[in-house]
Chains A and B, each alone.
Chain A
């Protein structure tokens, strides 16, 4: 499955809907579809907000390969490089503290890492390439 979109939040919404429609044709479970949408929303939002901010000529490509027990996904954009060339660790802030110290952000990379495996990033030919695997049918009741 291939999807392409421009770099803005409304384009992301449309792409996520198209993604859901495409995944329905692959007959994935509702649970898997929901979790993929969560991951893709975070990845696409990060690209729009960081790699592509102030760059109107930015665009994003998504490629999804269906394997027997997982999906292999690659997201490519022509925005700026990831600072430091490495991916954020995505560690959740401790939420046991007071109400005022509750985080309002930083959940994105935690969700991406929690729901995927083998996330990797590379920069080639002035483009960012982010790939990961999404395991299908993972039991979410115990997660």
Chain B
């Protein structure tokens, strides 16, 4: 599970370089997110531009990653592909996460709610 982390002034951007977060990869995703989370001191933006598909395992792993980060480091999502957007919307998880249209928009967006 290839993930890339970059630090920005007020966010850590984690880019998923795989096309699927699913039953085959959810556990590895969760473990890798936990490792990368140790470097994050502020909000984390998860860039899903390359992800065409998530299933309920993938969604659960994203929720687990959010919990791992804790309340001081909110997990935000960027760039939902059509199928990924449907899964978030159908499960109402689109109301739980802040969702940005793109990674660029996400990292330049000041987190005014802190």
A100 CA / B24 CA spacing, docked (Å)? 25
A50 CA / B90 CA spacing, docked (Å)? 24
In contact, B67 and A38 (Cβ under 8 angstroms): no
- A102/B86 contact (C-beta < 8 A), A13-B22, A45-B23, A92-B91 known: no
Give the residue name and chain of the B residue nearest to A101 (CB).
B67
**Does A99 belong to the interface (CB within 8 Å)?**
yes
Q: How many residues of B contact A (CB 8 A)?
A: 26
In contact, A102 and B67 (Cβ under 8 angstroms): yes
Q: How many residues of A contact B (CB 8 A)?
A: 33
B63-79 CB contacts (< 8 Å) to partner A: 63-64, 66-67, 71
- A110/B23 contact (C-beta < 8 A), A37-B83, A38-B86 known: no
CB distance from B35 to the nearest CB of A (A): 18
A107 CA / B60 CA spacing, docked (Å)? 8
Chain A positions within 8 Å of B92 at CB level: 92, 95
In contact, A13 and B20 (Cβ under 8 angstroms): yes
In contact, A105 and B83 (Cβ under 8 angstroms): no
In contact, A37 and B66 (Cβ under 8 angstroms): no
Give the residue name and chain of the B residue nearest to A103 (CB).
B63
Task: Specify which of B53, B56, B90, B95 is in contact with A105 (CB 8 Å cutoff).
Answer: B56
Chain A positions within 8 Å of B83 at CB level: 34, 37-38
CB distance from A129 to the nearest CB of B (A): 22
CB distance from A96 to the nearest CB of B (A): 9
Q: Sample 26 A-B pairs with CB under 8 A, ordered by A number.
A: A9-B22, A9-B23, A30-B82, A31-B82, A34-B86, A35-B86, A38-B83, A38-B90, A41-B22, A41-B23, A45-B23, A45-B56, A95-B93, A95-B96, A102-B67, A103-B63, A104-B60, A104-B64, A105-B56, A106-B56, A107-B59, A107-B91, A108-B55, A111-B91, A115-B90, A140-B86
Shortest 8 CB-CB contacts between residues of A and residues of B? A9-B24, A107-B56, A104-B60, A41-B55, A34-B83, A108-B56, A45-B23, A9-B23
